[in-house]
Amino acid sequence: MATSLRNAILVALAATPTIQQTCTGDVKCTCELLRDVLTEVNGTVLPSDGDTYKDIEDENYSAACRLPAACIVSPKNAQEVSTVVKILSQTGAKFAIRSGGHNYIPGFASVDEGVLISLSSLNSTELSEDKKTAKIGPGNRWQAVYEALVPEGLVVVGGRVGPVGVGGLMLGGGLSYFATQRGLALDNVKSYEVVLADGAIVTASADNEYSDLYQGLRGGASNFGIVTSYELYTYPARDFYVDARAYSPNQTSDFLRAVAEYQKEGQLDPSSSISVQLLESGPTILLLYNEPVQQAKAFDAFYALGTYQPIVPAFNGSLLDIMALTGSRFSTGETRTYGETFSHKTDADLMVELYSIFTEETASLPSGASAVWVPNSIAASVATLGKQHGGNLLGLEEVPQQWYEWYITWTEPTQDRAIWDISQRITQRCTDAAKAKDLLLPYLFMNTAGKTQDVLNSYGADNVEFIKAAAAKYDPGRVFQTLQNDGFLVRNL
């Protein structure tokens, strides 16, 4: 693009949010314009930048999600995000938005021959003067957030594993180690700073003129704009009792029944939480109690299982100690990852049956692939607390339930189709089994949902209509519907 033409566009952009048809439909031209606007180091990176581009592209957790963007932009503040959105809306360039890049659906936080908006530079954590809230940038990883807050004697309701990004987890709902006490992460937001499709920067809260936008963001994902800051309520940090255990494969059925028993009794104690994975080597569990005790009665169902292998000796420690213990779960390099979700009312027999289906299907995985089964135990209080905190759009029932987070990892791109086919069979068979026992719940957990799963419709008709209305109000030109590469979007309903 000629220098004189480029300068004319920049002047037009500074003077008015309307750029004329220059660059329309030309992503290369759009990237050149963005590079001139975001002038700081790595503000806009092109494939021709070699290792710098590759390093930023590789932040996506799953190698299958590292699509070849025409350029990657990293705005440093809300004003720069606004400028980027104005340019993209006027040139019509396709784009994707990435926070931490942990979503493992290709095209949701990645884009082929479009503009990838990386929010990684929006990574501040700022405590309010009274320390009752913290403003957290979407490009943060939860590890960094906790490192800033725990030394202050504070925590927020956020991610369970340090490398996960803030933005995706918050918009998807967000499970934490405090869910039984505090609800989901999105239930603990005081306000959102949002860049709308026209570039306007607004703050949405429950009691201001953007209260409908605030409500829409409590389940409505990236249908309204780009969130550039989350103001979260803070809570006093207390040490945890931490007990990480591994059980043998022949204990699996008894282990799953213990999980169901825990939900009947132990999970009524809001200080307790568990994190479970079922591996080929057998079940593992992290028992957490948000007080420094020796043992907690809430976990009696697991103590009764008998023989186990300590992953580490039980200890009392902080949330940062838990992050150190769980951070190793996350793979890097060329690993590809995909999984899906579903939910059901807690039932021991069904849990055993579902895991049997999973093991049957994953027995045919291609060489080198492996699978993990993660039944997330959700207390009835999670739905109750959501209502008490102003309500969200998830449509949760107030019953003990399981939200599944199973996934498969592999390295060979030639195996993608086989993995996809197995994934579809797992979801279909498990859904059918839960439905046959009249235990299936409609809710699909966005943070662990698969590409074709109808997440928004799982919230219920009234909540879907609210999301549609808010999206139409705040993005009347449908920028986030027509130009955003993919996601759980209103356009797909």
CA distance 318 to 310: 19
User: For the chain, where do the domains classified as CATH 3.30.465.10 start and end?
Assistant: 125-236+458-492
User: For the chain, where do the domains classified as CATH 3.30.43.10 start and end?
Assistant: 3-118
Q: Are 421 and 364 in contact (CB under 8 A)?
A: no
Q: Would you say domain 3-118 falls under CATH 3.30.43.10?
A: yes
CA distance 169 to 229: 13
CA distance 477 to 198: 9
pLDDT score for 329: 54
| Phi, psi of 200, deg, nearest 5 | -65, 140
* Six token digits for residue 476: 């009347």
Class of domain 240-455: alpha beta
Unique residue bearing structure tokens 């940090």: 237
> Smallest Cα–Cα separation from 108: which of 219, 225, 222, 213?
222
The angle that helices 416-436 and 348-362 make with each other, rounded to 10 degrees, is 160
CATH of 125-236+458-492 given 3.30.1330.10, 3.90.850.10, 3.30.465.10, 3.40.50.1220: 3.30.465.10
pLDDT in tens, the chain (493 residues): 444 444 544 554 554 344 445 788 899 999 999 999 998 889 999 999 999 999 999 999 999 999 999 999 999 999 999 999 999 999 999 999 999 999 999 999 999 999 999 999 999 999 999 999 999 999 999 999 999 999 999 999 999 999 999 999 999 999 999 999 999 999 999 999 999 999 999 999 999 999 999 999 999 999 999 999 999 999 999 999 999 999 999 999 999 999 999 999 999 999 999 999 999 999 999 999 999 999 999 999 999 998 999 999 999 999 999 999 987 555 568 999 999 999 999 999 999 999 999 999 999 999 999 999 999 999 999 999 999 999 999 999 999 999 999 999 999 999 999 999 999 999 999 999 999 999 999 999 999 999 999 999 999 999 999 999 999 999 999 999 999 999 999 999 9
CA distance 66 to 100: 13
Burial class (CB in 10 A: 0-12, 13-18, 19+), 308: buried
The angle that helices 3-15 and 27-37 make with each other, rounded to 10 degrees, is 70
Question: Structure pTM?
Answer: 0.94
User: For the chain, where do the domains classified as CATH 3.40.462.20 start and end?
Assistant: 240-455
| Region for 173 from its dihedrals, namely left if φ exceeds 0, alpha if ψ lies in -120 to 50, beta otherwise | left
